[in-house]
Structure 1
Amino acid sequence: MSGVFPDEVTGGVIIRDDLGNPTNPPDVQNAYTPAPGFVTSCEMTASPSNCNGRITPAQINAIVSELVALAECLDPDGPWNCTAVTNLCAAFTAWSATHGGLHVGEDPPDPVLNPFWYESDTGILYVFFDDTWVQANGAVADQVSIIGTGVAGRPLQVGVIDSGVY
Protein backbone atom coordinates (compact mmCIF):
# COMPACT_ATOMS: atom_id res chain seq x y z
CA MET A 1 0.00 0.00 0.00
CA SER A 2 1.28 3.45 -0.85
CA GLY A 3 1.84 5.82 2.05
CA VAL A 4 -0.16 8.91 2.88
CA PHE A 5 2.65 11.32 1.99
CA PRO A 6 2.97 12.66 -1.56
CA ASP A 7 5.62 10.84 -3.58
CA GLU A 8 8.54 12.96 -4.77
CA VAL A 9 7.90 11.56 -8.28
CA THR A 10 4.45 13.21 -8.26
CA GLY A 11 5.81 16.52 -6.93
CA GLY A 12 6.00 15.89 -3.19
CA VAL A 13 8.51 18.06 -1.32
CA ILE A 14 10.46 16.81 1.71
CA ILE A 15 9.30 18.74 4.80
CA ARG A 16 11.02 16.64 7.49
CA ASP A 17 14.29 14.77 7.08
CA ASP A 18 15.11 11.25 8.26
CA LEU A 19 16.49 12.66 11.56
CA GLY A 20 13.16 14.35 12.30
CA ASN A 21 14.23 17.91 11.54
CA PRO A 22 11.84 20.18 9.62
CA THR A 23 13.24 21.37 6.29
CA ASN A 24 10.85 24.35 6.00
CA PRO A 25 10.71 24.55 2.19
CA PRO A 26 9.43 27.96 1.11
CA ASP A 27 6.99 26.55 -1.46
CA VAL A 28 5.01 24.44 1.06
CA GLN A 29 2.35 26.06 3.23
CA ASN A 30 0.27 24.70 6.15
CA ALA A 31 2.11 21.37 6.41
CA TYR A 32 2.51 20.14 9.97
CA THR A 33 5.76 18.51 11.07
CA PRO A 34 5.82 16.71 14.43
CA ALA A 35 8.63 17.15 16.96
CA PRO A 36 11.95 15.38 16.21
CA GLY A 37 11.17 12.67 18.80
CA PHE A 38 8.20 11.45 16.74
CA VAL A 39 9.48 8.46 14.79
CA THR A 40 8.63 7.87 11.12
CA SER A 41 9.98 5.24 8.74
CA CYS A 42 10.41 7.78 5.94
CA GLU A 43 11.12 11.39 5.21
CA MET A 44 7.84 13.29 5.41
CA THR A 45 6.69 15.05 2.27
CA ALA A 46 3.91 17.49 1.41
CA SER A 47 2.43 18.91 -1.75
CA PRO A 48 3.86 22.26 -2.85
CA SER A 49 1.63 25.32 -2.68
CA ASN A 50 2.34 26.18 -6.33
CA CYS A 51 0.09 23.32 -7.58
CA ASN A 52 2.99 21.55 -9.35
CA GLY A 53 2.42 18.41 -7.29
CA ARG A 54 -0.50 16.07 -7.75
CA ILE A 55 -2.45 13.82 -5.44
CA THR A 56 -2.66 10.26 -6.66
CA PRO A 57 -5.52 7.81 -6.10
CA ALA A 58 -3.10 5.62 -4.11
CA GLN A 59 -2.40 8.54 -1.77
CA ILE A 60 -6.11 9.25 -1.26
CA ASN A 61 -6.73 5.55 -0.58
CA ALA A 62 -3.90 5.53 1.96
CA ILE A 63 -5.31 8.60 3.75
CA VAL A 64 -8.79 7.06 3.90
CA SER A 65 -7.31 3.76 5.10
CA GLU A 66 -5.36 5.58 7.81
CA LEU A 67 -8.56 7.24 9.06
CA VAL A 68 -10.55 3.98 9.02
CA ALA A 69 -7.69 2.21 10.84
CA LEU A 70 -7.71 4.92 13.53
CA ALA A 71 -11.47 4.54 13.96
CA GLU A 72 -11.08 0.75 14.22
CA CYS A 73 -8.29 1.17 16.77
CA LEU A 74 -10.56 3.34 18.94
CA ASP A 75 -13.71 1.24 18.45
CA PRO A 76 -12.92 -2.24 17.03
CA ASP A 77 -16.58 -3.11 16.37
CA GLY A 78 -17.42 0.11 14.53
CA PRO A 79 -19.79 1.17 13.16
CA TRP A 80 -18.55 3.31 10.28
CA ASN A 81 -21.36 5.44 8.86
CA CYS A 82 -20.48 5.90 5.19
CA THR A 83 -22.68 9.00 4.82
CA ALA A 84 -21.29 10.85 7.87
CA VAL A 85 -18.18 12.94 8.47
CA THR A 86 -18.21 12.33 12.24
CA ASN A 87 -16.91 8.74 12.36
CA LEU A 88 -13.68 9.55 14.20
CA CYS A 89 -15.63 11.55 16.78
CA ALA A 90 -18.03 8.64 17.29
CA ALA A 91 -15.17 6.16 17.59
CA PHE A 92 -13.36 8.36 20.14
CA THR A 93 -16.59 8.86 22.10
CA ALA A 94 -17.05 5.07 22.24
CA TRP A 95 -13.42 4.63 23.32
CA SER A 96 -13.65 7.23 26.10
CA ALA A 97 -16.91 5.72 27.38
CA THR A 98 -15.27 2.30 27.54
CA HIS A 99 -11.99 3.44 29.05
CA GLY A 100 -13.56 5.90 31.44
CA GLY A 101 -11.46 8.30 33.30
CA LEU A 102 -12.69 10.34 36.24
CA HIS A 103 -15.88 9.60 38.17
CA VAL A 104 -17.35 12.40 40.28
CA GLY A 105 -19.72 11.37 43.06
CA GLU A 106 -20.11 10.43 46.70
CA ASP A 107 -19.84 6.67 46.10
CA PRO A 108 -16.93 4.88 44.39
CA PRO A 109 -17.49 3.71 40.80
CA ASP A 110 -16.66 0.40 39.17
CA PRO A 111 -12.84 0.66 39.11
CA VAL A 112 -12.59 -1.22 35.81
CA LEU A 113 -14.51 1.57 34.05
CA ASN A 114 -13.32 4.51 36.15
CA PRO A 115 -9.93 4.13 37.84
CA PHE A 116 -10.14 7.70 39.22
CA TRP A 117 -12.78 8.85 41.69
CA TYR A 118 -13.28 12.40 42.93
CA GLU A 119 -15.39 12.16 46.07
CA SER A 120 -17.59 15.21 45.60
CA ASP A 121 -18.68 15.65 49.21
CA THR A 122 -15.12 15.61 50.65
CA GLY A 123 -13.04 16.93 47.74
CA ILE A 124 -10.70 13.94 47.87
CA LEU A 125 -9.27 12.34 44.73
CA TYR A 126 -8.73 8.57 44.74
CA VAL A 127 -7.00 6.19 42.34
CA PHE A 128 -7.77 2.48 42.25
CA PHE A 129 -4.49 0.68 42.94
CA ASP A 130 -3.77 -2.92 43.92
CA ASP A 131 -7.44 -3.78 44.59
CA THR A 132 -8.18 -0.74 46.75
CA TRP A 133 -8.98 2.97 46.50
CA VAL A 134 -5.93 5.05 47.47
CA GLN A 135 -6.12 8.77 48.25
CA ALA A 136 -4.22 10.60 45.52
CA ASN A 137 -4.30 14.16 46.80
CA GLY A 138 -3.37 15.58 50.19
CA ALA A 139 -5.87 16.00 52.97
CA VAL A 140 -8.24 18.93 52.70
CA ALA A 141 -7.90 21.30 55.65
CA ASP A 142 -9.45 24.65 56.42
CA GLN A 143 -7.39 25.38 59.50
CA VAL A 144 -4.91 23.68 61.76
CA SER A 145 -4.74 24.12 65.53
CA ILE A 146 -1.43 23.71 67.33
CA ILE A 147 -1.89 22.49 70.89
CA GLY A 148 0.31 23.92 73.65
CA THR A 149 0.39 26.91 75.98
CA GLY A 150 0.64 30.59 75.37
CA VAL A 151 -2.62 32.19 74.16
CA ALA A 152 -4.42 34.17 76.89
CA GLY A 153 -7.83 32.70 77.68
CA ARG A 154 -7.03 29.51 75.76
CA PRO A 155 -4.19 27.82 77.60
CA LEU A 156 -4.16 24.78 75.29
CA GLN A 157 -4.15 26.67 71.97
CA VAL A 158 -0.87 28.16 70.78
CA GLY A 159 -2.20 29.57 67.51
CA VAL A 160 -4.24 28.93 64.39
CA ILE A 161 -2.81 28.59 60.90
CA ASP A 162 -5.36 29.34 58.19
CA SER A 163 -4.50 27.19 55.20
CA GLY A 164 -7.52 28.25 53.17
CA VAL A 165 -9.99 25.95 51.46
CA TYR A 166 -8.81 23.66 48.66
Structure 2
Amino acid sequence: MDMSIVMTGIGVVALAGIVVRNGILLIEFTELMVERGMNVRDAVIEAGKTRMTPVILTASATILGLIPLAVGLNIDFVTMFTELNPHIFFGGDSVAFWGPLSWTMIFGLGFATLITLFLVPVMYLMAYHRKLRAKKILAHHGLFQGLMYLPFVVQILRLFTPKEIYRN
Protein backbone atom coordinates (compact mmCIF):
# COMPACT_ATOMS: atom_id res chain seq x y z
CA MET A 1 0.00 0.00 0.00
CA ASP A 2 2.86 2.39 0.78
CA MET A 3 4.43 1.89 -2.64
CA SER A 4 1.18 2.84 -4.39
CA ILE A 5 1.19 6.22 -2.63
CA VAL A 6 4.77 6.83 -3.74
CA MET A 7 4.03 5.86 -7.34
CA THR A 8 0.91 8.02 -7.36
CA GLY A 9 3.03 10.93 -6.16
CA ILE A 10 5.56 10.30 -8.91
CA GLY A 11 2.68 10.22 -11.40
CA VAL A 12 1.43 13.59 -10.15
CA VAL A 13 4.91 15.10 -10.52
CA ALA A 14 5.27 13.74 -14.07
CA LEU A 15 1.77 14.94 -14.88
CA ALA A 16 2.57 18.42 -13.58
CA GLY A 17 5.56 18.63 -15.89
CA ILE A 18 3.53 17.73 -18.97
CA VAL A 19 0.67 20.07 -18.08
CA VAL A 20 2.95 23.02 -17.33
CA ARG A 21 4.79 22.50 -20.62
CA ASN A 22 1.50 22.53 -22.54
CA GLY A 23 0.40 25.72 -20.80
CA ILE A 24 3.73 27.41 -21.46
CA LEU A 25 3.57 26.52 -25.14
CA LEU A 26 0.07 27.94 -25.42
CA ILE A 27 0.89 31.20 -23.62
CA GLU A 28 4.19 31.62 -25.45
CA PHE A 29 2.48 31.27 -28.83
CA THR A 30 -0.19 33.77 -27.75
CA GLU A 31 2.45 36.31 -26.73
CA LEU A 32 4.28 35.79 -30.02
CA MET A 33 1.09 36.64 -31.92
CA VAL A 34 0.50 39.72 -29.76
CA GLU A 35 4.08 40.89 -30.41
CA ARG A 36 3.45 40.56 -34.14
CA GLY A 37 0.62 43.04 -33.79
CA MET A 38 -2.43 40.81 -33.53
CA ASN A 39 -5.33 41.75 -31.26
CA VAL A 40 -5.13 39.92 -27.91
CA ARG A 41 -8.49 38.21 -28.27
CA ASP A 42 -7.68 37.08 -31.81
CA ALA A 43 -4.22 35.94 -30.68
CA VAL A 44 -5.74 33.81 -27.91
CA ILE A 45 -8.18 32.21 -30.37
CA GLU A 46 -5.47 31.63 -32.98
CA ALA A 47 -3.08 30.15 -30.41
CA GLY A 48 -5.82 27.86 -29.15
CA LYS A 49 -6.57 26.64 -32.67
CA THR A 50 -2.93 26.24 -33.62
CA ARG A 51 -1.66 24.58 -30.45
CA MET A 52 -4.72 22.35 -29.93
CA THR A 53 -3.44 19.59 -32.20
CA PRO A 54 0.00 19.20 -30.54
CA VAL A 55 -1.52 19.30 -27.04
CA ILE A 56 -4.15 16.68 -27.88
CA LEU A 57 -1.66 14.47 -29.74
CA THR A 58 0.81 14.57 -26.86
CA ALA A 59 -1.87 13.72 -24.32
CA SER A 60 -3.48 10.97 -26.39
CA ALA A 61 -0.12 9.34 -27.23
CA THR A 62 0.83 9.35 -23.57
CA ILE A 63 -2.54 7.97 -22.50
CA LEU A 64 -2.50 5.22 -25.13
CA GLY A 65 1.08 4.34 -24.20
CA LEU A 66 0.20 4.04 -20.51
CA ILE A 67 -2.90 1.83 -20.93
CA PRO A 68 -0.92 -1.44 -21.29
CA LEU A 69 1.07 -0.49 -18.20
CA ALA A 70 -2.10 0.36 -16.27
CA VAL A 71 -3.90 -2.89 -17.05
CA GLY A 72 -0.76 -4.95 -16.47
CA LEU A 73 -0.08 -6.35 -19.94
CA ASN A 74 2.88 -8.70 -19.57
CA ILE A 75 4.87 -10.33 -22.34
CA ASP A 76 7.53 -12.92 -21.60
CA PHE A 77 10.29 -11.94 -24.02
CA VAL A 78 12.54 -14.84 -23.03
CA THR A 79 10.07 -17.46 -24.22
CA MET A 80 9.13 -15.28 -27.18
CA PHE A 81 12.65 -15.52 -28.59
CA THR A 82 13.64 -18.99 -27.37
CA GLU A 83 10.40 -20.95 -27.88
CA LEU A 84 8.59 -18.48 -30.20
CA ASN A 85 5.79 -18.36 -27.63
CA PRO A 86 5.42 -14.86 -26.13
CA HIS A 87 3.17 -16.00 -23.25
CA ILE A 88 1.03 -12.83 -23.00
CA PHE A 89 -1.01 -12.35 -19.83
CA PHE A 90 -2.67 -9.59 -17.81
CA GLY A 91 -2.04 -8.84 -14.15
CA GLY A 92 0.88 -9.88 -12.07
CA ASP A 93 3.19 -8.04 -9.73
CA SER A 94 3.92 -5.20 -12.13
CA VAL A 95 0.33 -3.89 -11.90
CA ALA A 96 0.66 -3.32 -8.17
CA PHE A 97 3.82 -1.30 -8.79
CA TRP A 98 3.13 0.61 -12.03
CA GLY A 99 -0.68 0.72 -11.96
CA PRO A 100 -1.11 3.72 -9.62
CA LEU A 101 1.38 5.79 -11.61
CA SER A 102 -0.30 4.89 -14.89
CA TRP A 103 -3.86 5.56 -13.76
CA THR A 104 -2.82 8.85 -12.16
CA MET A 105 -1.28 10.05 -15.41
CA ILE A 106 -4.11 8.73 -17.61
CA PHE A 107 -6.95 10.44 -15.75
CA GLY A 108 -4.85 13.48 -14.89
CA LEU A 109 -3.88 14.06 -18.51
CA GLY A 110 -7.45 13.65 -19.67
CA PHE A 111 -8.64 16.31 -17.24
CA ALA A 112 -5.63 18.62 -17.55
CA THR A 113 -5.80 18.67 -21.34
CA LEU A 114 -9.30 20.09 -21.16
CA ILE A 115 -8.18 22.62 -18.57
CA THR A 116 -5.20 23.62 -20.71
CA LEU A 117 -7.25 24.12 -23.84
CA PHE A 118 -10.19 25.97 -22.28
CA LEU A 119 -9.20 27.55 -18.97
CA VAL A 120 -5.65 28.75 -19.73
CA PRO A 121 -6.68 31.00 -22.66
CA VAL A 122 -9.54 32.49 -20.64
CA MET A 123 -7.26 33.16 -17.66
CA TYR A 124 -4.65 34.71 -19.97
CA LEU A 125 -7.23 37.07 -21.44
CA MET A 126 -8.48 38.02 -17.96
CA ALA A 127 -4.94 38.67 -16.71
CA TYR A 128 -4.13 40.77 -19.76
CA HIS A 129 -7.19 42.98 -19.26
CA ARG A 130 -6.43 43.33 -15.55
CA LYS A 131 -2.86 44.37 -16.35
CA LEU A 132 -4.12 47.00 -18.82
CA ARG A 133 -6.54 48.36 -16.23
CA ALA A 134 -3.76 48.57 -13.62
CA LYS A 135 -1.49 50.43 -16.05
CA LYS A 136 -4.25 52.94 -16.78
CA ILE A 137 -4.88 53.56 -13.09
CA LEU A 138 -1.18 53.97 -12.30
CA ALA A 139 -0.59 56.23 -15.29
CA HIS A 140 -3.61 58.35 -14.38
CA HIS A 141 -2.36 58.94 -10.84
CA GLY A 142 1.28 59.36 -11.89
CA LEU A 143 2.43 56.40 -9.78
CA PHE A 144 3.81 54.39 -12.67
CA GLN A 145 6.81 56.65 -13.16
CA GLY A 146 7.67 56.47 -9.46
CA LEU A 147 7.34 52.68 -9.28
CA MET A 148 10.01 52.15 -11.89
CA TYR A 149 12.63 53.35 -9.36
CA LEU A 150 11.48 50.95 -6.63
CA PRO A 151 14.16 48.24 -7.25
CA PHE A 152 16.91 50.85 -6.89
CA VAL A 153 15.46 52.10 -3.60
CA VAL A 154 15.32 48.54 -2.27
CA GLN A 155 18.97 47.96 -3.20
CA ILE A 156 20.08 51.22 -1.57
CA LEU A 157 18.20 50.35 1.64
CA ARG A 158 19.78 46.92 1.59
CA LEU A 159 23.27 48.42 1.36
CA PHE A 160 22.78 50.49 4.49
CA THR A 161 20.97 47.83 6.53
CA PRO A 162 23.11 45.81 8.98
CA LYS A 163 23.73 42.31 7.65
CA GLU A 164 22.51 40.65 10.85
CA ILE A 165 18.95 41.75 10.13
CA TYR A 166 18.43 39.99 6.83
CA ARG A 167 20.89 37.13 7.20
CA ASN A 168 18.55 34.91 9.25
Normalising by structure 2, what TM-score?
A: 0.23
Q: Work out which of the two has the higher radius of gyration on C-alpha atoms and give 1 or 2.
A: 1
> Would you tell me which structure has more strand in proportion to its own residues?
1
The structure with higher relative contact order (CA 8 Å, sep 6+) is 2
> Would you tell me which structure has more helix in proportion to its own residues?
2
